[in-house]
Amino acid sequence: MPASKARPRPRVLIAEDDDSLRRLLEMRLTAGGYETRGAADGVLALEVADTWTPDIVVCDVMMPHMSGLSVARELRFRPETESVPILFLTARCFDEDIQEVMALGGMTYVGKPFDFTRLEATLRSLLGESERAAEPAVTVTNEGS
């Protein structure tokens, strides 16, 4: 009987300057079957993407050194990441700058504070993985939603 091929774990690059939130996202997504890498700012996110091509990017909009919007623009101009979906985390949902960058395509946003179950459902949708289990493997309450 041939061995079934294991599906590779989707790679998620998390660019978030809030250390606690970045670690929480890494922990929750890793427990949910994703391979994750974190970056504390936009410059570091691009450095990670240079050596580890993500399947999707979760990116804070307002970060030090380089904004998430600038990261998205740069990723769109790189052949290896030009079609990688980008999910912005932001409290600035209707900002003109965000709308301009989203016009580049393949991007969406989730407002802060966010519900993790909805965030993960959005990730699955962007990755085309509706069959991935919707229930998170770790439960963490979000007081803000």
- pLDDT for 141 equals 35
Tokens of 144: 């803000």
Distance in angstroms (rounded) separating the CA atoms of residues 144 and 77:
36
pLDDT in tens, 8-20: 899 999 999 999 9
| Domain edges within the chain | 11-126
Mean of pLDDT values over 27-54: 96
> Residue 120 CA to chain centroid, in angstroms?
10
Q: At 82, which helix (H) or strand (E)? A: none
103 φ, ψ (degrees, to nearest 5)? -65, -15
List the CATH code of the domain at 11-126.
3.40.50.2300
pLDDT tens digits for 60-93?
988 999 989 899 999 999 999 999 999 988 876 6
pLDDT in tens, 90-115: 876 666 766 776 677 777 888 888 88
Q: What is the H or E stretch that residue 107 is in? A: strand 107-111
